[in-house]
A and B are shown apart, each in its own frame.
Chain A
Amino acid sequence: MNGEFAISWTLTRATARRVLAQLRHDPRTVAMMLAVPSVLMILLRYVLNNPVALDRFAPVYIGVFPFVIMFIVAAITTQRERARGTLERLMAMPLGKLDLLAGYAIAFGLVACVQVAVVLVISLTWLGVSTPGSAVPMAVIAVLDAVLGMSLGLFASAFARSEFQAVQFMPAFVLPQALLCGLVVARSAMTPALRWLSDVLPLSYAVDAMQRISASAAWSAAVSADVAVVLAFTAAALVGGALTLRRRTR
């Protein structure tokens, strides 16, 4: 285990560049990653068809849609890396586990920045969402939420034996969190058992942070606390992902 968690900037950057190059050769995937959250927002605008409700719900969904998409993309990408044998090849080479995971995090984090920027601009201009909170802090938190989704996807993929299973982790891991994060029913209105469950799930804090930052122009201590929890879950998922990567198989 010694040195297993060392991180090399050169190798992390090379990995991030490689993942971005793979995406560049797959423009359709990139187009979908960038367009889907915005299309869903447009849909939400017309489904609600009520400016007051839209102003309340839109910021939350700006955090949730990229979270979900990044979860799936990351889970499938790593599962593919396993199935093709490239992961085993890399594990036999002098690449640190965290070099690999951090490389993924940086590449998908950059994609998340563009993804969030697009959905935010469309929401705040065309769809006319107006909130007391300002755009930049909202963007920061939405990107952190997307990176959280990505790290959870990387971690979850360790338990998938096939791409088919990896896809099913979306409903299995993400939908329960979506039900419990305060999107459907306010967390304060849940029964104690559900409230407790909601308290230990990462998406609850991601959504809380988004709700708080859009409700007020100031960056409050409560937002900082939510962000700290989101970052802690992200780091834990990445380290968990590194722990579940095996250099040897049985």
Chain B
Amino acid sequence: MQAHGLVVRRSSHTILDDLTFSIARGQVTGLLGPSGCGKTTLMRTLVGVQAITAGDVTVLGLPAGHPRLRDRVGYSTQDPAVYPDLTLAENLRYFGTVLGLRRDRLKAAMSKTIGELDLKGLEDRLVGTFSGGQLARVGLAVALLGTPDLLVLDEPTVGLDPVLRHDLWQMFHRLADSGTTLLVSSHVMDEAARCDYLLFMRDGRFLAEATPAQIRRQTGAADLEAAFLQLATGTRQEVAQR
């Protein structure tokens, strides 16, 4: 997964400003930065739903948004983007069918994701009656359903209780260990430490791209929050390019 000179402009406003980077396979890469810095737009370009102004993005060896990528890239947005007027099972069945899963494989994938996201027992309830945390997990479940090679998760842990958040991060690493590439955005710095690699973002540019340990070492900051502050206030510093 790599991008070269990626620029996204929306009516003269530059959202992504000449980004060049790559994301390693089988790792959890964290995309961190304040809200409004371009995280979501960057994720949307990788998934192929955002038009690019300049540069190019290659995902799993194909240009982003290529039709052959549509069942290999899982994407969950900040809003859950599911049908509130369908039950959990109906939502998963429909999206699973669209992803090409049929009969036994569909059933297996459904019960696996329902179990992994701790949604057991809610199958026949209307998604519109779910709590915020449950709803967020339904959005995640749809992204995981097709066992994609690349998972792009936009703030997947917002509003979840600490236990569940911990479980989810364990699952992310389990998926990465089995070869899935994950890009996870967050604006909470305590999640940065859980990533294998970090992209620190601000105003459409990267402040740093390195492992958490490298960032801590380069900035001399005690934690990643302090490191981010230091990077954001100081001049843009290149930290240990990969």
Give the B-binding residues of A (Cβ under 8 A). Answer: 3, 10-11, 14-15, 17-18, 21-22, 25-26, 84-86, 88-95, 247-250
Contact = CB atoms under 8 A, between A and B. Distances in A.
Contact of B47 (A10, A15, A18, A92): A92
Contacts, number: 77
B79 interface: yes
Interface string B1-37: 0000000001000000000000000000000000000
Size bracket, chain B contacts: 20 to 34
B70 A248 contact: no
Given A18-B90, A89-B142, A249-B49, A26 B85 contact: yes
B53 to A, nearest CB: 9
B65 A89 contact: no
Contacts of A25: 85-87, 126
B213 interface: no
Contacts of A26: 85
A133 to B, nearest CB: 39
Contact of A86 (B73, B81, B87, B99): B81
9 closest Cβ contacts across the A-B interface?
A85-B81, A94-B70, A14-B97, A18-B94, A248-B51, A89-B81, A22-B85, A95-B98, A94-B71
Q: Do most interface residues of chain B lie in helix, strand or loop, or is the interface mixed?
A: loop
A248 B79 contact: no
B61 to A, nearest CB: 18
B206 interface: no
28 contacts: A10-B97, A11-B97, A14-B97, A17-B94, A18-B83, A18-B94, A21-B90, A22-B86, A25-B85, A25-B126, A26-B85, A84-B83, A84-B84, A85-B80, A89-B142, A90-B98, A91-B49, A92-B73, A93-B70, A93-B71, A93-B95, A93-B99, A94-B70, A94-B71, A248-B48, A248-B49, A249-B49, A250-B51
